[in-house]
Amino acid sequence: MYHVRKVPHDRESADMKRYSAFAIVREALRNHRGWERAWISPEPRERYDVVVIGAGGHGLATAYYLGRNHGVKNVAVIEKGWLGGGNTGRNTTIIRSNYLQDPSAAIYEKARSLYEGLSQELNYNLMFSPRGVLMLAQTEHEVRGYRRTAYANALQGVKTEFIGPERVKQIVPIIETGGPRYPVLGALWQARGGTARHDAVAWGYARACSDMGMHILQKTEVTGITQKGGKVTGVRTTRGDIGCGKLAIVVAGHSGRLAEMAGFRLPIESVALQAMVSEPIKPAMDVVVMANTVHGYMSQSDKGEMVIGGGADGFNNYTQRGSFHHIEETVRALIETFPMLSRLKMLRQWGGIVDMTGDRSPIISKTPLENCFINGGWGTGGFKSIPGSGWAMAELVARGEPGPLAAAFGLERFREGRFIDESVAAGVAH
């Protein structure tokens, strides 16, 4: 984490010292007085080459790969609240890439593969845990669908397999496979899927961005987007006007509002996605289990909490609070598959604001405003895609044209009827 001493605000970078076992020993002998801030909090400059709106995982990853892959380091990441305080800190941390459509599988597999080495690359422990992800088939329709996905994944180079109920029981001993309403008929198994610490992903990227001299401007709300002759010129903020050559909008559930400021509309809707955790218990399962039929999914955190999530709200809203009906609907069904849940107490519940497209696939695209780019519409799949999303978005912003990962996710697909239908793979929140 970041036990800190103050760094002057006019510093251009944090002069990042590497974390290591030696550093821990050294600072222990100094009573931990030598740790520096993980990232600085500077005053804004008048102008940047690129302004990224949104200091969540996707925005910070975009900034990081702009610097790492393209040498663009005069970058500001603007956040109206605190870093990682939106969906990045409000998800259930699942990482997988077993999607059906080729463009989806490509970008999610890129993200999953980047996650595997990201702690070493960023010199920050993201607590990545490739524990494996099971997607239960509890109807004959799901069996056919997951077999189809397994075949598609084989062609895409994504390693998954369809397994039977006996193997599911071996992997998750606490599961009830013979339930009368929701029997487990098999599962799509991705052994290299898993979880990571959600806020650590944001912190690791932020630390690396700050070390490159980028500015992370927290508590700085964007109130307007300025343009001239159809070309973006900057943003208006609560800390004054900031000029920029290029603008990247990466604000998840608030994408529609920022697009309106820029003068265009998006084919998205914002809804709340809810989750909860139980009281901590002893280790009971070491994989992620998803059950789309009953709209529920579960894993166990390092602290012992059972992390439980369900579907998104059925109505548009911007709330970050939980509601009783989701507790009832999600837990009621999961108890039949995991009877042990009936004895647990709920510790806390929360919501995040997700932006959903009609085909349940993201938007990584140029916009009608020249030099303004948008990354959004990830719906329920945002956390797992962070490194791949940032990689693709950085390439789009730096070059002005999408690369292979982003090419299929442009806004024009909605006008052309060229949808990337992931409503099955992403229809339940996870």
DSSP 251-272: -GGGHHHHHHHHT---SEEEEE
Contact 402, 107 (CB under 8 A): no
The pLDDT-based confidence of 230 (bands split at 50, 70, 90) is very high
**Residues 406-426: pLDDT tens digits?**
999 999 999 999 999 887 665
Helix locations, 252-385, DSSP H: 255-262, 324-337
**% pLDDT > 90, the chain:** 72
Q: What share of the chain is helix, strand, coil (3-state, %, to 5)?
A: 35, 25, 40
- Residue-level pLDDT at 317: 83
Q: Tell me, rounded to whole angstroms, the distance of Cα 277 from its chain centroid.
A: 19
Residue 126: closest CA among 196, 179, 76:
196
Contact 191, 159 (CB under 8 A): yes
Phi, psi of 273 (to 5 degrees): -120, 125
Please give the model's pTM, rounded to 2 decimal places. 0.93
- Residue-level pLDDT at 7: 41
In the chain, where does the domain assigned CATH 3.30.9.10 lie?
120-192+270-357
What's the per-residue H, E or C state across 183-204? CCCEEEEECCCEECCHHHHHHH
Residue 421, both tokens: 């239908």
CATH number belonging to domain 45-90+198-268+359-416: 3.50.50.60
User: Mean pLDDT lowest for which of 56-70, 138-152, 307-321?
Assistant: 307-321
Residue 122: closest CA among 209, 198, 54, 51:
209
**Residues 249-280: pLDDT tens digits?**
999 999 999 999 999 999 999 998 888 999 99
C-alpha to C-alpha distance for 258 and 51, rounded to whole angstroms = 13
The pLDDT-based confidence of 319 (bands split at 50, 70, 90) is confident
C-alpha to C-alpha distance for 285 and 132, rounded to whole angstroms = 11
In the chain, where does the domain assigned CATH 3.50.50.60 lie?
45-90+198-268+359-416
Q: Beta strand pairing status for 215-217 and 268-278?
A: unpaired
Report the pLDDT averaged over residues 174-182.
89
The pLDDT-based confidence of 204 (bands split at 50, 70, 90) is very high
Phi, psi of 64 (to 5 degrees): -60, -45
The pLDDT-based confidence of 328 (bands split at 50, 70, 90) is confident
C-alpha to C-alpha distance for 374 and 413, rounded to whole angstroms = 14
**Residues 89-120: pLDDT tens digits?**
889 999 999 999 999 999 999 999 999 999 99
**Residues 3-20: pLDDT tens digits?**
333 444 444 544 678 899
**Residues 32-43: pLDDT tens digits?**
888 888 899 899
- Residue-level pLDDT at 2: 38
Give the SS3 label for residue 363.
strand
CATH number belonging to domain 120-192+270-357: 3.30.9.10
